[in-house]
Amino acid sequence: MTRHFVSDLGALLGRSLRHIARSPDTIITTAVMPIAMMLLFVYVLGGAIDTGSASYVDYLLPGILLITIASGISYTAFRLFLDLKGGIVERFQSMPIARSAVLWAHVLTSLVANLISLAVVIGVALIMGFRPVAGVGDWIAVVGILLLLTLALTWVAVIPGLTAKSADGAVAFSYPLIFLPFISSAFVPTATMPGPVRWFAEHQPVTAVVDTVRSLFAQQPVGNDIWVALAWCVGVLAVGYLGASLTYRRRVA
């Protein structure tokens, strides 16, 4: 059974990755908006924002990486929607393949595509002056947290991909996720925000992830932030996976 699932997953994953390779504009589009925002904030608005001794690009980058992920997972919902509308999923269901392999192929494709987009954004940040002092262990921790977050949000993205009535509806769910970093510590210190906004910013998941990644890049103590970030990621992953699995079963029943 496990071997059957792995072989089916490998075949479907290869199909999805070939689609990505044939249309690299997906990755380019995913990276362009975060890069444009990074250029705008660093070179236009950054001079008016006090982040202490850290350069603004160092302070800003973790939030930009989260926006990159939020932008990238919308394509997972979009590709899944197209497969459903095109009848590809129904065709797969008529074949002797593991049903769950269809969703996992889309999810793993999202991990690969987002990892490439994140690497592109970090490369541009290095050109702009990003200078992390993180060691190998810190980088591994950063990649692990970002991949866990991508996995969690991708399973959430599967739900609108299965239920949307239009392509625009499939990707619209990502807009609040892209906006969420703006009400966090991603762009400005939360201490500068008014009371209610500050409370929300300090207790929402983006701030915990951003602060953890920022501390790891700077090789600073992460404190409890890393456990809060991991708890949020695992919680979203559990809810997203269960919701996507139930929705998929109803959709293909």
H/E stretch holding 72: helix 56-85
Find out whether 70 and 178 touch, Cβ atoms under 8 Å.
Answer: yes
pLDDT tens-digit profile of 83-96?
Answer: 777 766 666 666 65
Could you read off the pLDDT tens digit of each residue along the chain, which spans 253 residues?
A: 455 667 766 766 777 777 777 766 667 777 888 999 899 888 887 666 766 667 889 999 999 999 999 988 888 888 888 877 776 666 666 665 666 777 888 888 888 889 989 999 999 999 998 999 989 999 999 999 999 999 999 999 989 888 888 888 888 878 888 889 999 988 988 888 888 999 999 999 999 999 999 999 999 988 889 999 999 999 999 999 999 989 888 876 6
Q: Residue holding tokens 């769910």?
A: 173
pLDDT tens-digit profile of 203-225?
Answer: 999 999 999 999 999 999 888 89
The torsion angle over the Cα atoms of residues 43, 45, 47 and 53, rounded to 10 degrees, is -90
134 CB neighbour count, 10 Å cutoff: 17
pTM of the model: 0.88
Split into its structural domains, the chain has a count of: 1
User: Would the CA dihedral through 114, 214, 175, 163 be positive or negative?
Assistant: positive
| Alpha helix segments (H runs only) across 164-224 | 167-172, 174-179, 195-203, 205-217
Distance of CA 128 to the CA centre of its chain: 22
Domain span holding position 52: 2-252
The token pair at 235 is: 């919680």
